[in-house]
Amino acid sequence: MVNVAIFGVGLIGGSIALCLKGKPGIRVIGFSNRESSVQKYLQRGVVDVGTTSIQEAAEQADFIFLCVPVGNLQEYMEKISAFNLKEGCIITDVGSTKSSVASYARSIDLGRATFIGGHPMAGSERSGVEAASYHLLENAFYVLTPEPSTPPEAVERLTELLSHTRANIVKVDADSHDDIVGAISHLPHLIAVALVNQVRGYNERNDLYQSLAAGGFRDITRIASGDPYLWRDILLDNRQVLLRLIRDWNTGMESFAHMLEKMDGPAIEEAFRTAGEFRNRMPERRKGMIHSVYDCYVDVPDHPGIIGKIASELGNNRINLSNLQIIESREDVPGILRLSFRNQEYLDQAIALLEKNGYSVQQ
């Protein structure tokens, strides 16, 4: 039996647990300081066994997943290193930054265990075990940051275990990881929060700001609802990279200000063109750099029963909807319905069916 201990059974720890639980020869052990949390993991069926004893969880484990906030990783590594870990035990983490944990792992004696940093490039603005999902990591990139000295056999064993998540494993060194993820994840979170707070300030004087905020504002600011403590830790930990990125960002904003002052239309067009080209080349259908969605948008007239009718049409044709959201519904304009599906096949079938039935559908 392979024992996998998960410390911090929240969004990410819980999602990994759900992928491993029930797989032949694997037993998932969930650790929490609080008995009530352990009971919750068990009730939700996320782990096989739960414990409030860190030593018990660590010493039984063949794999230890540290899924706590970045600011608590060192504390856990230190505690775990004091125990009698199994020969060949692999300790990994899922923290959103990789350099500091890698350097800490190098500085302590882990005895018979090996540390391999990890970071699944999937997530959401939600947190806690309630938000965990078996599908969260599917098709996402999962970064591992082994050191040149890490035994390849250990990396292979971890990769094999992680195959249950259906994520794509990529190996990157820890410093490059922090540079890249700083730009594509940490900076965007910071910008989203700054933007929301800017608008929040205007809204205090005129609440039409909030009322009129539509798709564009919502799309770019979803991630501003992330957990404050989690993000505090991530941003502080990657502060050197972020300070440099913020300087680059400011240069980009100044360049936009310059274009506006000079009424430089062609430069604005060019900025949109290059950005659009780059973004359109990104793997939209894959979890990872951009949230994976198999969505389409349907224009619907605002009359009673229409949403139920569309849902039934899909259901009758065995096309499984995974989510449905009304984006706009006013009497004078058609509403827009966002339909989400688990995979491309359902999405294609839905579009074909809805178009056949006379709806206008966009992706």
Ligand X SMILES: NC(=O)c1ccc[n+]([C@@H]2O[C@H](COP(=O)([O-])OP(=O)(O)OC[C@H]3O[C@@H](n4cnc5c(N)ncnc54)[C@H](O)[C@@H]3O)[C@@H](O)[C@H]2O)c1
Contacting positions for ligand PRE (CB under 6 A): 96, 121-125, 185, 223, 226, 291
**Least separation in angstroms between CB 350 and ligand X:** 27
Among 6, 38, 70, 172, binds ligand X (CB under 6 A): 70
Shortest reach from residue 279's CB to ligand X, in Å: 21
Is 182 one of the binding residues for ligand X (CB under 6 A)? no
Choose between 27 and 189: whose C-beta lies nearer to ligand PRE.
189
Q: Does 99 bind ligand X (CB under 6 A)?
A: no
Q: Which is nearer to ligand X, 52 or 349 (CB)?
A: 52
Q: What is the DSSP letter of 87?
A: T
- Give the integer Cα–Cα distance in Å for 318 and 306: 19
Is the Cβ–Cβ distance between 174 and 145 less than 8 Å?
A: yes
Stretch that binds ligand X, among 101-109, 115-123, 289-297, 328-336 (CB under 6 A): 115-123
- Answer whether 291's CB lies under 8 Å from 226's CB: no
For 197, how many CA atoms within 13 A lie in the half-sphere containing its CB? Answer: 7
Q: How many helices (H) and strands (E) does the chain have?
A: 15, 12
Q: Does 94 bind ligand X (CB under 6 A)?
A: yes
CA angle 120/164/234 to nearest 5° reads 15
Minimum gap (Å) between residue 122 Cβ and ligand PRE = 6
CB of 151 to ligand X, least distance (A): 25
C-alpha distances out from residue 356 to 48, 311, 334, 350, Å: 47, 15, 19, 10
Q: In 306-351, where do the E strands start and end?
A: 321-330, 333-341
Shortest distance, position 68 Cβ to ligand X, whole Å: 4
Residues 226-285 that bind ligand X (CB under 6 A): 227, 230, 234
223 contact, one of ligand X, ligand PRE, none, CB 5-8 Å limit per kind: ligand PRE
Buried b vs exposed e over 321-359: b needs ≥16 C-beta within 10 Å? eeeeeeeeeeeeeebbbebbbeeeebbebbbebbeeeeb
In angstroms, what is the minimal distance from the CB of 121 to ligand PRE?
5
Contacts of 218 (CB under 8 A, 6+ apart): none
# chain residues binding ligand X, by CB under 6 A: 24
Using CB distances below 5 to 8 A depending on partner kind, what does residue 185 bind out of ligand X, ligand PRE, none?
Answer: ligand PRE
Q: Nearest CA to 223 among 122, 126, 94, 340?
A: 126
C-beta closer to ligand PRE: residue 32 or 96:
96
Q: Which does 26 bind (CB under 5 to 8 A by kind): ligand PRE, ligand X, none?
A: none
Q: Which two tokens stand for residue 121?
A: 């490039």
Q: Smallest gap, in angstroms, from Cβ of residue 257 to ligand PRE?
A: 27
Q: Does 107 bind ligand X (CB under 6 A)?
A: no
Q: Does 33 bind ligand X (CB under 6 A)?
A: yes
